[in-house]
Chains A and B, each alone.
Chain A
Amino acid sequence: MSIQAASAHQPGDVAVRAPPSAHASDFDSFYEEHFAFVWRTVRRLGIAPSAVDDVVQDVFVVVHRRLCDLASPASARAWLFGIVRHVVKDARRTLRRKPAHLGGAARAGDDVDGMADASITGPHESAAKREAVRMLHAILEAMPDERREVFILSELEQMSVPEIAASVGANTNTVYSRLRAARADFEKAVARTRAGDEWRMR
């Protein structure tokens, strides 16, 4: 992007840093490595299937622009989660204002069937799996955001507590206590659902 380079020193201009040529391949490998994580996390943070594409796109557009800010590859997921939660928060705010048929009021648990149909291939397990996913999303949806995110990162992504702490910008003690509370929420919800006789998979 030589246009950019020629005028980067202009005082006060709104220069958008153009990627160096190495950036493109960095971005490609970053995308390949982390796409699934972003996709899953966006879903689990409560974005309806109809809106997941757009939100995941937004995340990677930001990643593309910021990739040069990433300090070390070791912290990539923590850094990335910071972007994901920001974009998701913003999207949820926007989607809530839109009518349901545009992907508005519909939340994660609402049209989970369509999502499960698309992502589950084995017919023999699809009913049980679909039910499990529906429950998982419903339980996550009922959790306070702070607990929800540590629960997702720990129980579903198997991230370490220090890594989670870096991801959510809290210290490890805080993460531990949120995680404890989230697990208690989850156990309670599972027990309640079972008592309500809605889940029979065992």
Chain B
Amino acid sequence: MSELGPEAKALLDLARGADDPSGADRARVRSAVAARVAIGAAAGAAVTAATTTSVAGAGAAAGAVAAPLGLGMKILFAIGAAAAVGMGAVTYVDSKPPAPRPSATASQVAPRDPPRAALPSATSAQPPRAPAPSPSQEPEPAPSVSATARVSPSAPAAAPSSSVPSVTREVELLAEAQSAINAGDGARALVLLDEHARRFPSGAMSQEREAARVFALCALGRTGEARAAAERFLSAFPTSPQAARVRASCGAPKF
């Protein structure tokens, strides 16, 4: 069907096979994808586990252990759990420093830990919104205070080392937004979702983000905007796994 001249055809024939990958390319990318997918699945499970108030059924074993932990630990735990399930992600448990995160209650009772670089977004999801009184013996303001009051765009960017795949960071940010929605703090969720949109404009989780936006707007009672967001979502991702829940939200399109 080609209408190209002989010279153009000759060039194409000569060049056609040269863009093919080697067997090594195939294997290398395959294992990189497997690793990223394992982390995505684990962190995805953590998103759900973190938002679950009561855990029932087959997930109880995993969820119950995770429940008293901070979100960061839950993600770590879920990554470990996925590895145990057979995703082969054992090495990736190490990609995050397994430094124990102070849980919300621990940080209120005990003096604050020194600021940690890792997972600031995970901690700020946990404490109650009332600004914690600054302990007098601790002149340095703790990072979680400002992170609770106002989400600075740079805060999540400080998260882990560059070796952590961006999908993992995406999931953390979304998990935090989801916690805010569950806590009824739609405004904070929107800030986090905007942050996510800015950093991962077409990230692997953009569907989930746009669905969460609908729920956040619903939580704020901004039904008109929720409806507009739901419409955008449903036309962009009509077959999304999230579509049913968006249709069941306050943003459900009126027919």
Contact = CB atoms under 8 A, between A and B. Distances in A.
- Say whether A associates with B: yes
B51 interface: yes
A78 to B, nearest CB: 15
A4 B32 contact: no
**Which of under 10, 10 to 19, 20 to 34, or 35 or more describes the interface residues of B?**
35 or more
B65 to A, nearest CB: 11
Contact of A129 (B14, B30, B44, B205): B14
Given A3-B48, A156-B16, A118 B11 contact: no
Interface residues of A, number: 64
Given A31-B33, A35-B26, A129 B18 contact: yes
A7 B55 contact: yes
11 contacts: A2-B59, A5-B58, A13-B178, A14-B211, A15-B47, A31-B33, A128-B14, A129-B18, A154-B1, A190-B11, A201-B14
Interface of B: 1-5, 7-8, 10-12, 14-16, 18-22, 25-26, 28-30, 32-33, 36-37, 40-41, 44-45, 47-49, 51-52, 55-60, 62-63, 78, 81-82, 85, 167, 171, 174-175, 177-178, 181-182, 201-202, 204-205, 208, 211-212, 215, 218-219, 239-242, 245, 249
Interface of A: 1-8, 10-19, 31, 35-36, 39-40, 43-44, 53, 56-58, 60-62, 64-65, 68-69, 86-87, 90, 115-116, 118-120, 128-130, 132-133, 135-136, 154-156, 180, 183, 186-187, 190-191, 194, 199, 201-202
